[in-house]
Amino acid sequence: MAATNSFSNYGSVAKTFHWLTALLILTALPLGWIADNLAYAVLHADTAPTEAQIARAARVFSLHKTVGIAVFFVALARILWAFTQTKPGLLNADNKPEAFAAETVHWLLYGSLVLVPLSGWIHHAATEGFAPILWPFGQNLPFVPKSEAVAEMTGVLHWLFMWVLVGSLALHIVGALKHHVIDKDSTLRRMLPGHSDAPEPPHQHHSLVPALAAVAVWGMVLTGGWVTGEFAREADDADIELAEVQSDWQVQTGALSITISQLGSPVTGSFADWTAAITFDEPAQVGPAGSVDVNIAIGSLSLGSVTDQAMGSDFFDTSQFPTAQFTADLFKTETGYEARGPLTIRDKTMNIILPFSLELQGDTATMSGSVELNRLDFNVGTSQPTEESLGFAVSVSVDLTASRSQ
């Protein structure tokens, strides 16, 4: 059997690509369906999920993503090979409507084999945390930021493109069976391993109309997704908005973030809504320097793919404990500054010390500080008593610029 194509037959390379692609797709699709169901069970369980449940969902998602990446590269190689080869003619080219449908489905399949894994890969790269791709080349992509908006958009695209792939794959299989069972021609046999005595196809002319029809199908799918609200972001009804506070120093810009370890990888998130009432006077010597009262809307936390899980009853439990508070006295030390006082998360309060650096320029102050907490000290994630899925340490960082009130 020849390695290259002829007008009447597919070569061994094209056949290998075809069946390898089929195997990968028929592996990736059920893995994705199983992973979605496992993740749904974790996020919507009546009781807190166990480490085993979370680890199982993560493993299946990792397998799905890894197989998806394999689909992407195999599809690229297959398409590049096809462009260098003679395209075997359709045996039913004289049946114009059927030939047009067959070529349109082929274009949908080729496009979907690239668009589905690529959109999923970008979604993964834009998302903080959860299930890694099982390979040594990193989890990020050039020019793809860690962005909730990008992750949500590409997640929807991945879902929509997946249905185009499923539909075109089903039509492709039905068409092949129709040729084999009803027409009893060599269309399916010439893609099977070994030599095929396929007849010479009739003379035919290939145009770009089927490719344009495939583009139109994708356009209709995207339009349908837009009309039905698939691209609309859902508002979080559990979130609260903090009231403004009176302060001797008004925060002009600031970032309050946390970093956790999920499945051995760091995941960083930030709180969009928090307030700080600050009093501060630079002391001449080591000693008291003021106070700070920080309130944090927990529901405003964005923590990548584990945001919803973090709001659950076993973690922050925002339905009962929508805010966290840190009330501290400020001290100047020999080496810098510290905020010392009680931090309350959920129904647990612990005294902590937050070291920070401070730069004063007239009536403007810039500070930066961080502290490491243990989530179990605040009863966060008690259903995961080991670090197999979720690390104990949580790094809290704050950076802000404040100006003195006039």
- The per-residue pLDDT string of the chain (406 residues; one tens digit each, 9 = 90 and over) reads 789 999 999 999 999 999 999 999 999 999 999 999 998 887 777 677 778 888 898 899 999 999 999 999 999 999 999 999 999 999 888 899 999 999 999 999 999 999 999 999 999 999 887 789 999 999 999 999 988 889 999 999 999 999 999 999 999 999 999 999 998 988 999 999 887 777 888 888 878 999 999 999 999 999 999 988 888 755 444 457 788 888 999 999 999 999 999 888 888 999 999 999 999 999 989 999 999 999 999 999 998 888 888 898 889 999 999 999 999 999 999 999 999 999 999 999 999 999 999 999 999 999 999 999 999 999 999 988 999 888 999 999 999 999 998 7
Task: Round to whole Å and give the CA distance between 330 and 112.
Answer: 58
pLDDT in tens, 115-160: 999 999 999 999 887 789 999 999 999 999 988 889 999 999 999 9
Predicted pLDDT of residue 239: 59
H helices of 127-250, in order, are: 148-177, 209-227
Q: What is the pLDDT of residue 245?
A: 87
Beta carbons of 222 and 46 less than 8 angstroms apart: no
Share above pLDDT 70 across residues of the chain, in percent, rounded to a whole number: 98
pLDDT tens, position by position, 176-226: 999 999 989 889 999 998 877 778 888 888 789 999 999 999 999 999 999
* Confidence (pLDDT) at 237: 46
- Output the CA–CA distances (angstroms, integers) from residue 134 to 65, 66, 131, 335, 391, in the order listed: 8, 6, 9, 44, 20
Q: Where are the strands (E) in 63-222, listed by range?
A: none
CB 324 within 8 A of CB 345: yes
Question: What sign does the CA torsion over 179, 183, 186, 187 have?
Answer: negative
CA neighbours within 13 Å on the CB side: how many for 259? 10
pTM of the prediction? 0.80
Predicted pLDDT at 305: 80
Structural element, H or E, at residue 103: helix 96-126
User: Cβ neighbours of residue 45 under 8 Å, at least 6 residues apart?
Assistant: 53
- Domain residue ranges in the chain: 12-227, 249-404
> CA-CA distance, 38 to 18, in Å (whole number)?
30
Kindly provide the b/e burial profile for residues 177-199, where b requires at least 16 CB atoms within 10 angstroms of the residue's own CB: eebeeeeeebbbebbeeeebebe
Determine the pLDDT at residue 234. Answer: 55
User: Looking at the domain 249-404, which fold is it?
Assistant: Lipocalin (2.40.128)
Q: Residue 160 half-sphere exposure, CB side, CA atoms within 13 Å?
A: 22
Neighbours of 315 (CB within 10 A): 24
The Cα 303–Cα 309 span in angstroms is 9
d(CA 54, CA 41): 9
Residues 318, 47: Cα–Cα separation, whole Å: 15
Buried b (16+ CB within 10 A) or exposed e, 343-358: bbbbeeeeebebebeb
- pLDDT at residue 262, rounded to an integer: 85
